[in-house]
Every structure is written in structure tokens, then in C-alpha cells.
Amino acid sequence: MDPDRKKDFYKNVYKIAIPITLQSLIMSLLFLTDQLMVGQLGDTAIASVGIATKIFSVISVVLAGISMGVSVYAAQFWGNRDTKSISQLLGLGLFIGLILSFLFTLLVFFNPQYIVGLFTTDKSIIDNGYIFLQLVALSYIPTMLTMMYSSILRSTEHVKFPMYASAVTVCINVLLNYLFIFGHLGFPAMGLKGSAIAMVISRVIECILIIGAVYKFRLPGSVDWRNLFGISKPLTVKFFSTTYPIVLTELVWVLGETVYAVIYSRMGTVEMTAMTITFPLQGLSVGLLSGLASAAGVMVGNKLGAGEKDVAIDYAKKFIRFGIIISISLGVVIALTAPLYVSAFNISSEANQLGIYIIWVFAGFLWVKVANMIIAGGILQSGGDSKFVFAMESTATWLIGVPSALLLSFVWKQPIFWVYLVLSLEEVVRFGLGLTRIYSKKWVKNLVDGIAA
């Protein structure tokens, strides 16, 4: 990479990755704060939130798959500064997202106990967790709106607005948690129910701030409803051909994670508690580096849309190396601070020790998790290589991760940290397959040629 291109690369990485990273960090801190506050209510409350969070993950990744498809095409359209096509693309994403989020809301809101019961047989968790899940279901539609508009803003390099909205949302959520969970300043102490109410209010406010900023500052996507939903057939056909494998990939991943959650919870409440307290730290760590994957998708996609394929390939290789170096350093820090982190939770000594071991395993595999995030979620998807990504994810999850977790937990009765270590080997398989695909250059495609509005 020549010096000018290298300078341009790092300039754009800082411009795009840092605000996205800060937003992910802010949202991870929100989750961490939730867990710490709820963590004061004991093991059952922590496990209840963990299960409810996993259910929300199943729903959110479907919507994330749609928003990722929007982001892929928006990045390439932005390479040619085609704002009209971007508006139509947003309309298509909103149309699909509204249908799905509405159906998910109905399903979860009216069947919360049944859904929680799929994850655990512990009656105390079902009785406590269902109320939290039922109320959180009301946040699905505003969450979807936030995801769609944020994907457009990120892909068009307007990354600061989602970050600002998330910062305000975190402050509001922390305050409302303080008031509603513990009953301060005259509010009733509502426990888990209070945490759910705080989350719903915060998500609605975040949605209003994002959409308000789009129209106030006339950002991409700020068009009237008629132009927003005047969607061309060529765009629709090509969008679906690329996006359905993305959605399937997200589903494969989250269903695998859901199977893991069921395995952990059925190993026992202590094991589920130990795993659940690590989720905020895992989210925080990956969130710190998620900006690199997003920046890779935007920057590589912009170059592909502009027809600069050689530059796109150079950027891809640079992102992979950069991500591995940073994530190894972060993994060392996480491993060293694991005991301090776990001590912040009011849990049993057995859950405490298991939590430390789980974090050490996570820290050891962080570099390959981040590399895969950049390769699959950023680079390969930016070129529309979604069918290969789907095949790669399916192979790693269902032929390696899930079978090994089932055998180790229920047949060989191994401790939870050994189960987590062996199933994490699926990440190594993903890395090998993904890196081979990068160097094959089969993913290098201009998706928007011939379908502009």
C-alpha cells in the first residue's frame, strides 16, 4: 500500500470506526449497567435476564440481517453518491422490518412464559423472567427503526449521529434503572419489571433521536414517504438475492448461540449464572472492536461501488491484520482483570470461580472472533458474498460447535468452561475458511451497477 493510500486508509478508519466503536461501547456499557444493577437481586434474577436477552437476540439478529443488507447496498451506492437509490433502499428495509418486528412483538408479548420455558425448567426463573421478556417485547419496533436508520447513516459516513443518540439513551436508561429497580426518589421498587420498563422507554427515545436527526439535518434517507417507498423492481430483486443469505447466516449463528444457552441453563442455575455474568464483558470487548468490522464494510463497499477493486482488496487485508493485533492486546488485559470483574457481582463462590474460567477462555479466543467479524461481517458481505458466508457459518456452528457442546455437557459431563473452550474451536475453522476466501478474490463485486434509481 503506497503512503498516500495508507494515510487515506487510517484517516477513514478513525473517521468511521471510532464513532461506531464508541456507540457499541456505550450500548455494551448499558447492558453491563443493567446486569450490575439486576445482579444485586441475586442468581435467579441474573439467569432470568440472561434467558430473556437470548430470546431478544434471536429476534434482533433477524432484523440485523435486514439492516446489514441495507448497509451493504447503501455503502456501494454511496461510493457513487447515489442518494435517491439509498432512500429507496431504506424504504425497502423499513417495509420488511415493520412486518417482522410487529409479528415478533405479538408472538412474545402474548406467550412469554411458554417461550422462557423452552430455555429452562427452573420454575423461579420462568416466574421471574416472563414479566421482563413480555415488557421488553414492546421495544422491538423502535429498535428496528433505530437499526435501519443507523445502518444508512453508518454506510454514508454519518456515524456520529447514532453515537450521540446512544450516549443519551444510556444516560436515560441508567437513571431509570436506578429509579425503577430499587425505588428511589419516591418511585416504587419494581425489580426486574422496572428494568424492563426502563429499557423500553430508552429504546423509544433513541429511535426518536435518530429519526429526528435524519430529517432535521437532511441526511441520507430524509425524504417524504412517497419517495421512500417508491421502490424499483431491479433493486428489490437484487436486494433479496443478497440479503436472504445474510438473514439465514444471522439465524444460524443465533440459533447456535441459543442452543448453547439452553445447554448452559440445563447444566444448572450456577452454570447459567456464571455464563450470564460474562455476557456484558464479552459484549463490551467485541463492541470495542466492532467498529473495525463496520468500517471495513463501509470502506471496502465504497471502493467496490466506485469501481476501485484493487484498493478494496488492499483495504481488506489491512483491516484483518489491524484487527488481530489490537484484539490480542485486549485479550491479555481481559484475562488479567477477570477476577476483579467477577467480584462485582453478588453471586455464589462456585459461580464466581466458573465465571473467571469462562472469561479466560473468551480472552484466549478474542483475536480469532474479531478477525472473523471483520472477514465475514465486514469484508465478504461488502462484496455481496453472502451465500459463501452462510455456508461457512453453518458448517462451523452445526458440524463443530453444537455437536461438541452437546457431547461434552450431557454425555461426558465436563465443567462449563471446558464445554465453552471446545465449542469455541469453531471460530478457528471459520477463520481458515474466511481467509482462504479473501485471498481467492471471488468476493470482489460491484453490486449496484445497473440498478440505480
Contact of 60 with 241, CB cutoff 8 Å: no
Listed ranges 269-278, 320-329, 406-415; the one with the highest mean pLDDT: 320-329
At residue 111, the pLDDT reads 84
**Comparing 151 with 127, which gets the higher pLDDT?**
151
Which of 25-29, 203-207, 287-291 is predicted most confidently? 203-207
Residue closest to 286 by CA, chosen among 246, 341, 326, 339: 326
Q: Residue 45: pLDDT above 80?
A: no
Q: What is the pLDDT of residue 452?
A: 67
**Predicted local confidence at residue 453, as pLDDT:** 59
Summary mean pLDDT of the chain: 87
How far is it, in rounded angstroms, from Cα 301 to Cα 308?
10
- Rg (C-alpha) for the chain, rounded Å, is 21
User: Backbone phi, then psi, for 446, in 5-degree steps?
Assistant: -95, 110
What percent of the chain is modeled with pLDDT above 90? 46
Rounded to two decimals, what is the model's pTM? 0.81
Can you state the percent helix, strand and coil of the chain, rounding each to 5? 85, 0, 15
Q: Which residue has the higher pLDDT, 443 or 189?
A: 443
Q: What pLDDT was estimated at residue 442?
A: 95
Q: Is the pLDDT of residue 402 over 80?
A: yes
Least confident of 188-192, 208-212, 230-234, 327-331: 230-234
pLDDT, tens digit, 9 for 90 and up, residues 134-180 = 888 899 999 999 999 999 999 998 988 988 998 898 889 889 988 98
Residue 299: all three cell numbers together: 470502506
Which amino acid, residue 364?
G
Q: At what angle do helices 233-267 and 43-79 cross, to 10 degrees?
A: 160
CA distance 369 to 269: 27
Write the pLDDT tens digit of every residue in 204-237: 999 999 999 999 999 998 888 777 777 788 888 9
Residue 123 has pLDDT above 80, yes or no: no
Q: How far is CA 90 from CA 151, 210, 297, 298, 303, in A?
A: 9, 14, 17, 16, 21
d(CA 284, CA 290): 10
pLDDT of residue 186: 84
| 142 within 8 A of 212, measured Cβ to Cβ | no
Averaged over 409-427, what is the pLDDT?
A: 90
Write out the DSSP string of 186-242.
T----THHHHHHHHHHHHHHHHHHHHHHHHHTT-TT---HHHHT---HHHHHHHHHH
Rounded percentage of the chain residues whose pLDDT exceeds 70? 96
Which three-class secondary structure state does DSSP give residue 436?
Answer: helix
Taken in order 279, 280, 285, 289, the sign of the CA dihedral is positive
**What pLDDT is stored for residue 31 in this prediction?**
67
Asked whether the CA dihedral 407, 411, 412, 413 is positive or negative, the reply is positive
The span from the CA of 245 to the CA of 69, in Å, is 10
Q: Report the C-alpha gap between 361 and 357 in whole angstroms.
A: 6
Digit-coded pLDDT (tens) for 334-389: 999 999 999 988 888 999 999 999 999 999 999 999 999 999 989 999 999 999 99
| Alpha carbons within 13 A on the beta-carbon side of 252 | 20
- Amino acid occupying residue 43: D
Give the residue from 73, 67, 56 showing the smallest Cα distance to 112: 56
* pLDDT score recorded for residue 1: 59
